[in-house]
Amino acid sequence: MSLNGTDAPDFTLASTNGADVTLSKTLDDGPTVILINRGHWCSFCAEQLQTFSEISYDLWFHDGVDILPIVTDPIGPVTEMRDRYDLGIQLLADPDGTVAEQYSGTEQTSHGLTGISATYVVDEEGVVQYEQVADHPADRTYGNWVRYFIRNGYEDPFEG
């Protein structure tokens, strides 16, 4: 089931900065990027998160965009992941996969329950303007493409 063109499911999750983050509150300031990640152990997730960490300040400062990476692990390992990869963005813990299930889904792997990797761009009205659900763990949308997508009025910057 695709979420593209529909209202993004609202959620509140614990952040690695110690506060709770609610999607609907971030939308008060502008668009929000939601990244569903498999787990703290996932090197493909870390690579994608680093690309968003590099552009996060630019997107926030110029476009009011918040980035909400969701990791299907408890807050302890999620905080360790943020610190290990020196990420400049806070991560959100979804230990039971409830939020991941509302978006891209979850699956049982050798690591236990994991989210299915996905990227969502949610506009100021709460509508999903972009959805990319990974076909395999290395299938990712990176930060620069999302930056251009938002600045191009939610249109693919490389089409046409």
End-to-end distance of the chain based on CA atoms, in angstroms? 27
Residue 157 lies in a domain: no
Give the pLDDT of the chain (160 residues) as one tens digit per residue. 799 999 999 999 999 999 999 999 999 999 999 999 988 888 888 889 999 999 999 999 999 999 999 999 999 999 999 999 999 999 999 999 999 999 999 999 998 899 999 999 999 999 999 999 998 878 888 899 999 999 999 999 888 6
Residue 2 lies in a domain: no
Digit-coded pLDDT (tens) for 88-113: 999 999 999 999 999 999 999 998 89
What CATH number did the domain enclosing 47 receive?
3.40.30.10
Give 9's DSSP letter.
Answer: P
Residue 98 lies in a domain: yes
CA distance 119 to 132: 5
Q: Write the CB contacts of 78 (distance below 8 Å, at least 6 apart in sequence).
A: 16, 40, 71, 91, 92, 93
Residue 4 lies in a domain: no
Q: Are 131 and 40 in contact (CB under 8 A)?
A: no
Residue 122 lies in a domain: yes
Residue with tokens 């050798």: 110
Residue 1 lies in a domain: no
Residue 66 domain boundaries: 12-151
SS3 13: strand
Residue 136 lies in a domain: yes
Domain count, the chain: 1
Residue 6 lies in a domain: no
**In this structure, what are the phi and psi dihedrals at residue 41, rounded to the nearest 5 degrees?**
-90, -10
Kindly report the pTM of this predicted structure. 0.94
Nearest to 47 by CA among 115, 134, 125, 139: 139
Helix (H) or strand (E) holding 47: helix 43-63
CA–CA–CA angle 118, 121, 126 (5° rounding): 120
